[in-house]
Amino acid sequence: MYNAKAYSAATAKSPLASTAITRRDPTEHDVQIEILYCGVCHSDLHTVRNEWSDVMPTVYPCIPGHEIVGRVTRIGSAVTKFKAGDLAAVGCMVDSDGTCPECRAGLEQFCPNFTLTYNFPDKHLGGITYGGYSDSIVVDQKFVLRVPSNLSLAGAAPLLCAGITTYSPLRHWGVTKGKKVGVVGLGGLGHMGVKFAHALGAHVVVFSTSPNKKDDALRLGADEVVISKNANEMEKHVGSFDFILDAVSADHDINAYINLLRRDGNLTLVGAPEKPLAVAAFGLLFGRRSLSGSPIGGIAETQEMLDFCGTNNITADVEVIPIQKINEAYERLLKSDVKYRFSIDMASLKSE
């Protein structure tokens, strides 16, 4: 075992602060990574503040971060995929059983025995897993991804959660040229959803509560932007969407969006608000519409997404921050005041 630097929250109400943690030495299948950038996902904030206490209660101290890119520093004797000095990335999962039908289908995100990157029982050291707000991490090579060399590292980090979480449902629901696709909430996930839906050839409509994001939405690849508080603008799109991706982090009226779907259209939730959302049955009955959800994505699809980003030169639009600004960043995230993902420059942790 060795010591690593990190930022942790001691309780649901405490700010994140500098700390020292213990990481395992790489076992034969492990890759040790020096973390260079870590994206700031709204899930980090939900977890730090224990907002998902009914589903995944937070164990403290909590060290979030699951949008990790860095450089390999050490490898175990059986590691073949990486060597010291390679770029590497880690997303939301660090382990799974590898034997269940989901794992065999390459869908580790549905494995009943997976291990999430933070706030999950740590099979190696006991306690819970610690995430990417740290200077290093040790992960089984099966859960370590390759980063295309043409991508900026700060902008590539958010692909590991915001990227795969939006790419996967867009692919699953057959988004291609000729489809009309809505993206609700232009945050970290939403802006990646817009980039991917546009790259896949769809007609993309962004729904935002923030009038000041309109020009950005068009620049990011939207064909139209609707300020969702404007009922007249919403009305124009009733019954017209093939697919809507809802990436909103807080309570909101999803019925307004279900009504915009055409017959057999689907609305997929990727946003995970603290409180349950109310669904009006008739919105689904009329038009045989469906409502579903989607969690992150499997390892093979995450690599496919990263390669797609390499080919199409797609990264997140990031505001790079030092780790010392993380608490301020959380407050700004709550005000939808980030364009469009914070990415922590982990070199800033060296001074702690």
Ligand X SMILES: NC(=O)c1ccc[n+]([C@@H]2O[C@H](COP(=O)([O-])OP(=O)(O)OC[C@H]3O[C@@H](n4cnc5c(N)ncnc54)[C@H](OP(=O)(O)O)[C@@H]3O)[C@@H](O)[C@H]2O)c1
| Interacting residues of 59 by C-beta distance below 8 A, sequence separation 6+ | 119, 127, 128
Closest residue to ligand X, judged by C-beta, is 187
| Cβ distance to Zn ion smaller for residue 75 or 156 | 156
Euclidean distance between CA atoms 110 and 247, whole angstroms: 20
| Cβ distance to ligand X smaller for residue 64 or 271 | 271
340: preceding bond cis by omega (within 30 degrees): yes
| Interacting residues of 352 by C-beta distance below 8 A, sequence separation 6+ | 5, 18, 323
36 binds ligand X (CB under 6 A): no
The item of Zn ion, ligand X, none sharing an interface with residue 272, based on CB under 5 to 8 Å by kind, is ligand X
Euclidean distance between CA atoms 346 and 71, whole angstroms: 12
The torsion angles phi and psi of 90, rounded to 5 degrees, stand at -135, 140
Least distance to ligand X from the beta carbon of 25, Å? 30
Where in 292-351 is the site for ligand X (CB under 6 A)? 294-296, 333, 336
Least distance to ligand X from the beta carbon of 272, Å? 4
Taking a C-beta distance cutoff of 8 angstroms, is the pair 261, 207 a contact? no
Q: How many residues bind ligand X (CB under 6 A)?
A: 31
DSSP, collapsed to helix, strand or coil, labels residue 214 as: helix
161 binds Zn ion (CB under 5 A): yes
Q: How many residues bind Zn ion (CB under 5 A)?
A: 8
| Cβ distance to Zn ion smaller for residue 43 or 259 | 43
| Cβ distance to Zn ion smaller for residue 225 or 333 | 333
Euclidean distance between CA atoms 334 and 331, whole angstroms: 5
Work out the end-to-end distance of the chain between its first and last CA atoms, rounded to an integer number of angstroms: 20
111 binds Zn ion (CB under 5 A): yes
What is the Cα gyration radius of the chain? 20
| Cβ distance to ligand X smaller for residue 134 or 228 | 228
Task: Report the residue count for the chain.
Answer: 352
Least distance to ligand X from the beta carbon of 167, Å? 11
Long-range CB pairs of 47-52, under 8 A, 24+ apart, other chains included? 47/118, 47/119, 48/9, 48/12, 48/16, 48/330, 49/12, 49/13, 50/12, 51/274, 52/272, 52/274
161 binds ligand X (CB under 6 A): yes
Question: Of 19, 32, 96, 336, which one interacts with Zn ion (CB under 5 A)?
Answer: 96
The helix (H) or strand (E) run that includes residue 326 is helix 326-334
Question: Of 43, 47, 134, 136, which one interacts with Zn ion (CB under 5 A)?
Answer: 43
Where in 126-155 is the site for Zn ion (CB under 5 A)? none
The item of ligand X, Zn ion, none sharing an interface with residue 111, based on CB under 5 to 8 Å by kind, is Zn ion
53's tokens: 């206490």
- List the one residue out of 149, 117, 136, 161 whose CA is nearest residue 342: 161
Where in 242-271 is the site for ligand X (CB under 6 A)? 247-250, 252, 270-271
Where in 180-209 is the site for ligand X (CB under 6 A)? 185-190, 208-209
| Cβ distance to ligand X smaller for residue 19 or 165 | 165
Question: Of 8, 32, 43, 129, which one interacts with ligand X (CB under 6 A)?
Answer: 43
- Residue with tokens 């990011």, as numbered in its chain: 220
User: Where does this chain touch Zn ion (CB under 5 A) — which range of 37-45, 177-185, 216-224, 314-322?
Assistant: 37-45
260 binds Zn ion (CB under 5 A): no
The helix (H) or strand (E) run that includes residue 138 is strand 136-140
Least distance to ligand X from the beta carbon of 75, Å? 29
Least distance to ligand X from the beta carbon of 15, Å? 18
Which residues would be at the binding site for Zn ion (CB under 5 A)?
A: 41, 43, 96-97, 100, 103, 111, 161
Q: Which residues bind ligand X (CB under 6 A)?
A: 41-43, 46, 161-162, 165, 185-190, 208-210, 213, 247-250, 252, 270-273, 294-296, 333, 336
